[in-house]
Structure 1
Amino acid sequence: MTSMQRRVGGVCLALLLALSVGAPLLADRPDADQVDATALEAASRIASGWTTLKGGPGVDTPGFPADAPVAPSLILRAPEPIAPPPVRELSLVLDWYLSPQHAALIVARERGDFDRQGLKVSISAPADPSVPTKLVAASRADLALGRQLQLHRQIDEGLPLIRVATLVGTPLNSLVVREGNGIANLTDLSGKTIGYATRDDIQPTLSIMLAHHGLALDDVTLEGLDFTLAPALVEGRVDAVIGGMRHVMPYQLREEGVVAHSFMVEDHGLPRYDELILMANRDHLNGQRDDIRRLVAALEDATHWIINHPNKAWELVTRSEPGLDTAANRQAWPEILRRLSLRPATLDARHYLNFQAFLHDQGLITKRQPIERLAVDLSAP
């Protein structure tokens, strides 16, 4: 670089700074008399944006050879606006009607966690609790909530499901009986009527619990109730229900004047499992992986905020879903907080394979699957 080029470069920089921050003009500098007039003129032309350092091919600008590289003109204008990234849409079907166990979904929606991930998530409740995973398998919904039990059974039946996240990592299911109807332990269920919501509540849950105490399904009368478990127990239409959420149903029954007792499924022969998991269509996972990863990241952010701000979280949940603001749910709120998965994407592969082995040994599924056909850890590198 020649001395002239260095002088011009310095002058250009000074002029640009003066234009942008109101610095004194070069003429005000004490060393202004040292600035070469020719260099100042060239620099001024650059800053004004209407010329280049050379007049064109074959034309010499003083101090520059005719074949010097052309410097681009300086254009002073606002930058082009950056277009926002496209919003991705996902549909999610709940496992049940909306309840406190769905808090992470509600909070992520209301706090804008989904929006920050570039997602628009539609959440719907099913008319039939057996439908959500079937909608995902049929490509009529992107995601569905359900239980780990359900995942193993339906994969064994050929449905292309895969676990992508865990919202509640411990069982919530229980067998609930009315106090005072002569059922002190599970052996007293012989000859009684038991209501249920889904097929998985009967087989394997109830069948294993009964077998643990020397009974079989033939020893009881079964009645399908769908979403009306608590009312049926209050009205006395059944003696017990299987599928009652242990953190809510006892409080619901107490509001109706019914004292109840819960038998935890894992205390009566059933291994621990993930109560509430998010399932996707395995055949479509590669194309949806990034979108689902973003959704799970939003759920993790929402869950940590809930744990850190339980009172604010409850206010947000009930303000957005007033139907959840009941005495039973208020009492259940601290219990559900203890069960929320802080790292929903993380997969315990051994846990899934061991539970699958249990179901296979019980004759409840016909084939063992490799872990990659059961579940995926979207947080893995």
Structure 2
Amino acid sequence: MTSMQRRLGGVCLALFVALILSTPLLTGRPDSVQANQVDDEAALEVIEVVSRIADGEPTTGGGPGIDTPGPPSGVPVVPPSIILRAPEPIAPPPTRELNVVLDWYLSPQHAAFIVARERGDFDQQGLKVSFSAPADPSVPTKLVAASRADLALGRQPQLHRQIDQGLPLIRVATLVGTPLNSLVVREGNGIGAISELRGKTIGYATQDDIQPALAIMLAHHGVTLDDVTLKRVDFALGPALVEKRVDAVIGAMRHVAPFQLVEEGIVPLSFMVEEHGLPRYDELILIANRDHLNGQRDDIRRLIAALEDATHWIINHPDEAWELMIRSEPGLNTKANQQAWPGMLRRLSLRPATLDARHYLNFQTFLYEQGLIQERYPIERLAVDLSAP
């Protein structure tokens, strides 16, 4: 065999080997790791022989040369394959943490938070959300203003007054868009109208229950704050009324307080704040620190999206939602809360991020005209819709 023939034979064989090596990539047929290793060793041996032939060196037994016959008929030739390694998994984005201070002890009005946590809606948004009840119901928004909490739940009237006091607060979502606050008295104690509260003792939980709610309601019936005695009872509104330490309480949540009082043997008489001089307002809003909002905007937007998903699921599956809540928070499983649940469902905001700017500006004007705030502020200082483009 001449040198030229040897070199042509080597080139042809090299092309043949390259075709064999590329076969698995074209067909995509997987083979076992052990077979791959054996076949690759055979391929390396063939390449070595080809190199020898191309360089004019003689071949030895044990390897296929140009003049060496192929394998016997019927013996399958398994082409070498390449081991393909799976791509490295993509690490998920880090979980962001937010802490929320509730406005009150845990109750059905906080359903969206409880369900979002238990269903994993927060997890799907990449959030770890913790929430806690305050020891003092007057402090949640103050903690946010002092940068000691990310978010707090509160009421719209409270927001207006605290902004007027210089606190850097802003509304970012609405969970309950109607008033829940009410003035409650015991039936049969000689008080059948608000005008008959003159000279009586009224219990309250926070200063915001007095101004504007109680002051406006009394004034609507010709009574002033100077005509009554005020007694702070914090969370114990119901017990104070049951034990006759007060004649009435302001700040009682209308969706649950009457049922709680009936359990205690009291027949309550409730007066709705919006029916006695106070314009309608958002009862339960999510409040952030305005100075930190730009840095928390995306996290808060994700939180609100999770709350919206949870709320829609609650509306669509009220019985399952109730079972989920009491399973995760056994303290909620009371007769009064169960009775309050259907009424609470009707008040949950289905679009918590959406802002009715006119509603906030009109309520601010009312407070200003009543002398309850000193200035009027643009809507950007009061509230924001983080879902807006």
Verify same fold: TM over 0.5.
yes
Q: Deviations over 1:226-260 (max 9, x none)?
A: 00000000001111100000010000000011000
How far does residue 122 in structure 1 lie from its aligned partner after superposition?
A: 1.2
Sort the Cα spacing of 1:149 and 1:17 in 2 relative to 1 into closer, same or farther, 3 A. Answer: same
Q: Is the 8 A contact 2:179 2:283 kept in 1?
A: yes
Are 1:89 and 2:72 counterparts? Answer: no
Q: Distance in 2 between matches of 1:82 and 1:254?
A: 57
Identity of aligned residues (%): 80
Sort the Cα spacing of 1:13 and 1:207 in 2 relative to 1 into closer, same or farther, 3 A. Answer: farther
Amino acid at match of 1:274: D
State the partner residue of 1:119.
127
Sort the Cα spacing of 1:14 and 1:343 in 2 relative to 1 into closer, same or farther, 3 A. Answer: farther
Which of 15, 19, 25 pairs up with 2:28? Answer: 19
Are 1:235 and 2:261 counterparts? Answer: no
Are 1:155 and 2:157 counterparts? Answer: no
Are 1:290 and 2:281 counterparts? Answer: no
Q: Distance in 2 between matches of 1:19 and 1:359?
A: 74
Secondary structure (helix, strand or coil) at the match of 1:360 reads helix
Q: Distance in 2 between matches of 1:116 and 1:308?
A: 20
Q: Distance in 2 between matches of 1:376 and 1:145?
A: 15
Q: Deviations over 1:303-351 (max 9, x none)?
A: 0000000000000000111111000000000000000000000000000
State the partner residue of 1:271.
279
How far does residue 19 in structure 1 lie from its aligned partner after superposition?
A: 3.0
After the TM superposition, which residues 1-381 of structure 1 pair with which residues of structure 2 at under 5 Å, given as runs? 15-20=24-29, 76-381=84-389
Q: Distance in 2 between matches of 1:13 and 1:132?
A: 68
Amino acid at match of 1:18: T
Unaligned runs of 5+ in 1: 1-9, 23-43, 52-73
Q: Is the 8 A contact 2:138 2:206 kept in 1?
A: yes
Sort the Cα spacing of 1:20 and 1:160 in 2 relative to 1 into closer, same or farther, 3 A. Answer: farther
Q: Distance in 2 between matches of 1:253 and 1:187?
A: 23
Amino acid at match of 2:340: A
How far does residue 20 in structure 1 lie from its aligned partner after superposition?
A: 3.5
| Range that drifts further, 108-117 or 74-83 | 74-83
Sort the Cα spacing of 1:75 and 1:180 in 2 relative to 1 into closer, same or farther, 3 A. Answer: same
Amino acid at match of 1:361: E
Q: Deviations over 1:197-237 (max 9, x none)?
A: 11011111101001111110111111001000000000011
**Rg larger in structure:** 2
Q: Distance in 1 between matches of 2:371 and 2:131?
A: 35
Q: Distance in 2 between matches of 1:128 and 1:170?
A: 24
Q: Is the 8 A contact 2:24 2:30 kept in 1?
A: no
Q: Distance in 1 between matches of 2:111 and 2:30?
A: 51
Secondary structure (helix, strand or coil) at the match of 1:159 reads coil
How far does residue 92 in structure 1 lie from its aligned partner after superposition?
A: 0.4
Q: Distance in 2 between matches of 1:107 and 1:355?
A: 31
Q: Distance in 2 between matches of 1:11 and 1:361?
A: 89
Q: Distance in 1 between matches of 2:209 and 2:329?
A: 28
Q: Distance in 2 between matches of 1:17 and 1:258?
A: 83
Secondary structure (helix, strand or coil) at the match of 1:164 reads strand
State the partner residue of 1:38.
none
Sort the Cα spacing of 1:18 and 1:276 in 2 relative to 1 into closer, same or farther, 3 A. Answer: same
Unaligned runs of 5+ in 2: 1-18, 32-39, 48-81
How far does residue 16 in structure 1 lie from its aligned partner after superposition?
A: 2.2
